[in-house]
Amino acid sequence: MDFEAPLWRYPGPGGWHFVTLPPELADELRERTAGTRAGFGSIRVRATAGGVSWDTSLFPDAASGSYLLPVKKAVRTAAGLGDGSLVRIGLTLPGED
C-alpha cells in the first residue's frame, strides 16, 4: 500500500511528526484489520519512507476520520524529511512482507 501525503508537526510539547493517511486507504485498512486491531484501535505496520523502514503503529484520528502514521526523528533525519515535506510512504501489514 503506497501513498503520498505531507509530513506535519503536532502543535504542542514534544514535537511529534505525523502523516495522515488518505481516507480511502484508511477505509481499506479498517476492513482488512477488523477484529485484529490493538488497543485504541491501532494497527501494527511496517512503514517505508525515503528508503528508511521502521515498525510502528497507525493510530485512529477522530478529527480527520483517518489514521495517523508517526514519523520519528531518526527516520526524518535519515530520509531528509522536514515539516511540510511531501512523503511517499509504503505500508505493509504483519505477515504480508
Residue 64 has pLDDT above 80, yes or no: yes
DSSP state letter for 73: H
DSSP readout, 10-62? PSSTT--EEEEPPHHHHHHHHHHTTTT--GGG-EEEEEEETTEEEEEEEEEET
Confidence (pLDDT) at 97: 65
Average pLDDT over residues 22-49: 89
Which 3 state secondary structure label does DSSP give 75?
A: helix
Among the four given CATH numbers 2.40.30.100, 1.10.357.10, 2.20.28.10, 3.50.50.60, the one describing domain 2-92: 2.40.30.100
Sign, Cα dihedral of 28, 34, 39, 45: negative
Residue 93 has pLDDT above 80, yes or no: yes
- Show me where the domains of the chain are located: 2-92
Query: Which phi-psi region, left, alpha or beta, contains residue 30 (left: φ > 0; alpha: ψ -120 to 50)?
Result: alpha
Do residues 95 and 45 make contact, with C-beta atoms less than 8 angstroms apart?
no
Confidence (pLDDT) at 22: 97
DSSP state letter for 74: H
pTM: 0.90
